Structure 1
Amino acid sequence: NATLDVYGSGWVCQRGYYKSGNECQPVQMPQNATLDVYGSGWVCQRGYYKSGNECLPVQVPQNAKLDVYGSGWVCNQGFRKADDKCVSAFQQ
């Protein structure tokens, strides 16, 4: 589960493993997670957010959509955030 590093003088763990002392251990991923860009950790899939060691679904209220990162939400145009919901931007 390891290969030579780019310099040929050391080693790195293959994708899906992380370095732990002198070993490569498999990345343990919860449901709704994928490997991170480095391949040595994990991130939640779009529509989920990290909470401890798990990925929980983002609760998107009415008149909202997932944010650009996919781990939160934003109100649709014409609405503004008020606590955990979206209300008309024209409402006082």
Structure 2
Amino acid sequence: MAGTPANAHVRPYGGWACNRGFRRLGGSCAAVAVPPGGYLDAAGDDWDCERGSVRSQDACAPVEVPPHAFLEPRGRSWDCERGYRRVERACVAVAVPPNGYLAATGDRWACERGYRADGDRCERLVVPAHAYLAGTGNEWECERGYRREGGLCSAVEVPPHGHLNASGHDWTCARGYRKGSTCAAVVLPPNAHLDDAGDGWSCDPGHRRVGDACAPG
């Protein structure tokens, strides 16, 4: 095709494109200058660096991997080995205190069950009466029927017509009673019934609420 420059080919639907290893520069195709440690990318009109090096202007510079580190999967950067953490451009050993262990990530520590982190130490967790170690064992919770008050577990005082709620650390009233400082009976006016929550009332069909009463209508 007339007008097609060197190192180019005619496109199926008209026009032209540069061959692999060349890039379009105005009306011609210029060779892609691949530096040492580089390779042509998938499109063929640019270059990228091999694993272990990164692009720096028109060259491929090696990734400087410090001691106790390794190249990350793409090879463009590095990560510290397990037991080390990154501090600027170095890998520093994780100082695990007594009663501690390396966390799953490998770059920090956590305290064993029954201990709690306090600065750079693991302090024994003091579990009060009527409490137990919860979750990972670095915290405590009160048993059912007790609530946390400061560093102690105090019994939940359930009033008549009340019961422990789902959490077990507070109380709620039985159906037909309303919670206050105690459980007070819900007073139903004529032509009323307990509502769905059970601590209030609604008027029967054919009646409407007027103040504290149910009137026809």
**TM-score of the superposition, structure 1-length normalised?**
0.90
Give the aligned CA root-mean-square deviation in angstroms. Answer: 1.5
What's the offset of the Cα at 1:70?
0.8
Q: Is 1:81 matched with 2:81? A: no
Secondary structure of 2:113 counterpart: coil
Question: Which consecutive segments of 4 or more residues in structure 1 shift more than 3 A?
Answer: none
Partner residue of 2:108? 72
After superposition, where does 1:1-92 map in structure 2 within 5 Å?
Answer: 1-90=37-126
Distance in 1 (CA, whole Å) between partners of 2:55 and 2:79 is 18
Whole-Å separation in 2 of the counterparts to 1:12 and 1:84: 44
Q: Which has the higher contact order (CA 8 A, sep 6+)?
A: 1
Count of residue correspondences: 92
SS of structure 2 residue aligned to 1:81: strand
Bigger CA radius of gyration: 2
Structure 2: which amino acid aligns with 1:8?
A: G
Unaligned runs of 5+ in 2: 1-36, 128-150, 152-217
| Contiguous gaps of at least 5 residues in structure 1 | none
- Structure 2 counterpart SS, 1:50: strand
Distance 1:15 1:52 in 2: 22
Normalised to the residue count of structure 2, the TM-score between the two structures is 0.40
- C-alpha displacement of 1:31: 0.6
Alignment partners' CA distance in 2, 1:63 and 1:26: 41
Q: Deviations over 1:11-59 (max 9, x none)?
A: 1111000100111011111110101222011111111111122111000
Report SS of the residue matched to 2:126. coil
Identity across aligned pairs (percent)? 36
